[in-house]
Amino acid sequence: MTIEDIIIKRGIKEILHFTTNLGFVGILDSECVKPRKILPDNRRLEHILKLNCPDRSRDLDWHNYVNLSITCVNKYIFGISKKKWHKNDIGWWCILSFRPEILTHSGVVFCTTNNAYSNVVKRGYDNSGLEALFANQIVEYESGTVARRLSSTPSNQPTSKQAEVLYPGELSLDYLQKIYVNESDNASAVEGQWAVCSEAKSVECIVKPELF
């Protein structure tokens, strides 16, 4: 079974990446999502750069990849980002939804849980890596906590809610299909920023507060 077959079989519709309002401006300006490693090299972004996670010392070898989620964002990390790391310095957040075809691109790596955990299993380049994210059980934290697949778990949702897709290098906005925001004012801001910063055709912006 190919990666395309798995995407269809499981009904995977979107690959997600959350970012701040400032991060969104930088993404529009660059016309891509840039991996952490090269963000400081862009002088145009230096005055608005806000890293989602201030400390990525546990996964240094993977800073040239964009961190993504299948179907649902990593609510654990998203929650810490909103309530701790950027509690007082961020206007709003948005979630970018990319077409699942990016999972078929060369060099993509699939992580069974959070890439920074010592128990994570990473696989890439073939269908077994993607299918591994949907195993009946996944060992997550250093303590050996196990995530188990339940009968109620949606087919398109990985077993571990912290499973990651690592995309090598820059992820082009050509594959962006939707943008989710928390409220209508943020949707207006997205539309305005897109009009100012990007010449590309805009994508649908959806108000969906339950994601935030």
> Residue 31: left if φ>0, alpha if ψ -120 to 50, beta else—which one?
left
Structure tokens at 130: 């993607």
Here the contacts of 56-59 (C-beta below 8 Å, separation 24 or greater) are 56/116, 58/116, 59/115, 59/116
Cα–Cα distance measured from residue 44 to residue 38, given in angstroms and rounded to the nearest whole number: 12
Query: Which pLDDT belongs to residue 50?
Result: 58
Q: What is the pLDDT of residue 16?
A: 98
| pLDDT for res 157 | 97
Q: What is the DSSP letter of 94?
A: E
**According to the model, what pLDDT value does residue 42 have?**
52
Report pLDDT for 85. 56
Full-model pTM: 0.86
Smallest CA-to-CA distance from 103 within 86, 83, 126, 84 is with 126
Is residue 169 within 8 Å of residue 144, measured between CB atoms?
A: no
- The answer to whether the CB of 115 falls within 8 A of the CB of 122 is yes
DSSP 85: I
Decide: helix, strand or coil at residue 166: strand
**What average pLDDT values come out for the chain (212 residues) when binned by 10 residues?**
93 96 87 78 53 60 90 89 65 94 95 89 79 95 87 96 95 96 94 83 92 92
Residue type, 154: P
In this predicted structure, what is the pLDDT of residue 80?
A: 82
Report pLDDT for 119: 87
| Strand order from edge to edge, sheet including 93-98 | 122-124, 109-111, 164-168, 65-70, 15-20, 93-98, 176-181, 204-207
